[in-house]
Amino acid sequence: MLKRDLTTSYPRSVRHQTLGVVQLGRAIDKGIALANGLQGEYNYDCPMDKGVFDFLGVDGNAVLDVIKKAQSESEIEAYLKPFVDKKTPQQIQGFNAEFLKHGPDPGSDAEKYFLDIRNQAAPDRTDVTTWPDLLDLDEKRDVPRRVAVGV
């Protein structure tokens, strides 16, 4: 069985592309950790994971079943590849671009949660307005400064 311990390390960045798709590697990391009971504060099949799974037309539970049986990450990727191959490069590029721009809806509970995390991680980073930037910031990855908009 594959091992990932998210009680002592972070999953891959949302930006990391597995099979050319953002978020997919992160979802795999969380699934591997869950299969080992080492997911820590991370939730497999969360809304962001569901977003990538829905785009690919794959069920998160089916992916988790493959993860639990896989001896290598290449086995997981082999399962996912046919789903990715059904998408055109343009569809994948569009999905990736949109996914990386996603932030919380203004005035929502998600925005309150977002701002709480951002204010704990780096209160001066009002330029961080997307979930991928927030997760990278929270997980101590370098997040380039941007011109602040919204949030």
pLDDT over 90, % of the chain: 95
| pLDDT grade for 1, boundaries at 50, 70 and 90 | confident
What b/e string do you get for 44-73 counting C-beta neighbours within 10 Å, with b at 16 or more? Answer: bbeebbebbbebbebebeebbebbeebeeb
pLDDT digits (tens, 9 = 90+) for 118-149: 999 999 999 999 999 999 999 999 999 987 55
Residue 79 corresponds to which tokens in the numbers above? Answer: 């399962």
What phi and psi, each to the nearest 5 degrees, are found at residue 18? -110, 125
Q: Over 80: is that where the pLDDT of 109 sits?
A: yes
Burial class (CB in 10 A: 0-12, 13-18, 19+), 120: exposed
